[in-house]
Amino acid sequence: MKENRFHCESAELNFIEGPPNGLPILLLHGATKNWQSFSPLINDLMAYLHVLAIDFRGHGKSKHMAGAYKLQDYLMDTQCFIMEYIKQPTIILGHSLGGMIGLMAAAKYPQLVSSLIIIDAPLTTASLRKLAQEQGAFANQLIQWLKISKFLNVTSFNNGAIPESLSQCDPDMLHAIINDFEATFHQYSIEELFPKIKCPILLIRGNTIRGSLVNDAEVEQVKTLLPKLKDIKLPHAGHSPIRQDKQLILKEIRAFLKKILNV
């Protein structure tokens, strides 16, 4: 597995790539994370798939892009990476923000997405808006620390209490999510996007009691718009089930892909 750089327009994305062991699968991480958030799954997926994973703009080792952190910006990078680097229809596996971008890609560029695996990605913006409001004070403190750390070239905070992925984030990206919420997420409309999605979708979600951002009512609403949706709820997991239910997630992914793509 190797790490590399990809240039598209003004964006410069860090990405990793495994051997070409099968159909391509693109891993899209959540906000404030990086490609390493998929580490528990990557080796198993590489056994039968061509695994690629990017760091979104403003995350990980990718270029910071001040003032360009709307969903449409992440979508543009994803479209460009598939079209110019992968160059064939791709399975997208997205967690949280990455799942939202996967859904948008399948709706707007159906020729690029063969199937979707979505892990606890918000189906509406309601849960995200609530989280942004609840975490606003802490997030704004973090934004100030990130700005200072960039200026002083500080790379750790509170003896490592802040994860590396968070310390790598562009403070402008966090500002867009917390303080410019409506402009950042306004293009994420289930009524407009979801009826356009034709590919098979596997949704793996946690329990709202444990922090999941996907509730039962939203899933039932979305099922009327996405007839090819398969819904798997993990009652003991929260918003980050990859580390909590790794083996079950790998099993569900393999069964889903074998059924629809025979891989």
Cα 90 to its chain centre, rounded Å, is 15
Report the CATH architecture of 2-123+188-261: 3-Layer(aba) Sandwich (3.40)
Q: What angle do CA 7, 240, 117 make, to 5 degrees?
A: 60
Residue 234 confidence class, pLDDT cut points 50, 70, 90: very high
Residues 76, 37 contacting (CB under 8 angstroms): no
Which residue out of 37, 62, 96, 114 is catalytically annotated?
96
User: Is the pLDDT reported for residue 138 higher than 80?
Assistant: no
Asked if residues 178 and 213 have their Cβ atoms less than 8 Å apart, the reply is: no
Per-residue model confidence as pLDDT tens digits over 36-46: 999 999 999 99
Give buried/exposed letters for 46-65 (b at 16+ CB in 10 A, else e): beebbbbbbbbbbbbebebb
- The pTM (predicted TM-score) of the whole model is 0.93
* Nearest-10 crossing angle of helices 97-108, 71-81: 70
Domain residue ranges of the chain, discontinuous segments joined by +:
2-123+188-261
- Quote the radius of gyration of the chain (alpha carbons, Å): 17
Q: Is 96 a catalytic residue?
A: yes
